[in-house]
Amino acid sequence: MEAVRDLLAEGRFHESSVEQVAERAGISRATLYQHFRSRIELVDEMCDAFDANPALLALRDTVVLDDPHAALDETIANTVAFWSSEDAVLEQLYGVAAVDQAARDLVDRQRADRRGEMKRLARRLKLAGVLRSGVGQTSALTLLMLLTSYESYRELREAGLGEREVTKTLRETAHRQLLDQR
């Protein structure tokens, strides 16, 4: 997996063969093929490694916080922390998703997982009665998906914002657009 991560961070994974990954890992091609039959399986393993990321683990626990405002803030902070901690790898995977099936599968799985978490949060905000007048659960989900997307994170980073500034900007936007400011 270290070889896959390195190739991704260098922007070379999408053009690398399984044989080149084996060479980079210092193992034989046969050994690699005993464990992984394809590049897709290598990326699948990367996806499993992401599941152990501390920010992603924390993200899954935030929706159940007692305070819905804190749940919203922590969800955004943990999402930004995850994007930031995996940025070098994700930038490559998202960049080649249009032409690389393995990368596209990973991006699709990440979006589906994030959508599930954001649905839970939108439902939690609605049930707590903290959504602005006229903002329903579907609208809340739509905005949460936009605010927590990797693409939004990258745009804000490209605009020169650091991780803390990205988190602050997204939190402020979420509060203004979603929450009743009584």
Spatial separation of the C-alpha atoms in residues 29 and 51, rounded to whole Å: 27
Q: Does 151 share its domain with 139?
A: yes
Q: Does 92 share its domain with 143?
A: yes
pLDDT of residue 100: 78
Domain with 89 in it: 47-178
Nearest to 50 by CA among 111, 110, 127, 133: 110
pLDDT of residue 83: 96
Instruction: Record the pTM.
Output: 0.84
Averaged over successive runs of 10 residues, the pLDDT of the chain (182 residues) comes to 82 80 88 83 78 82 78 95 92 84 84 94 93 95 97 97 98 95 66
Q: Does 128 share its domain with 69?
A: yes
pLDDT of residue 63: 63
pLDDT of residue 95: 84
Q: How many beta carbons lie within 10 A of that of residue 78, not counting itself?
A: 23
The burial of 71, by beta-carbon neighbours within 10 Å (0-12 exposed, 13-18 middle, 19 or more buried), is given as: buried
In contact, 71 and 64? CB cutoff 8 Å: yes
Q: Does 66 share its domain with 133?
A: yes
Q: Does 58 share its domain with 16?
A: no
pLDDT of residue 11: 78
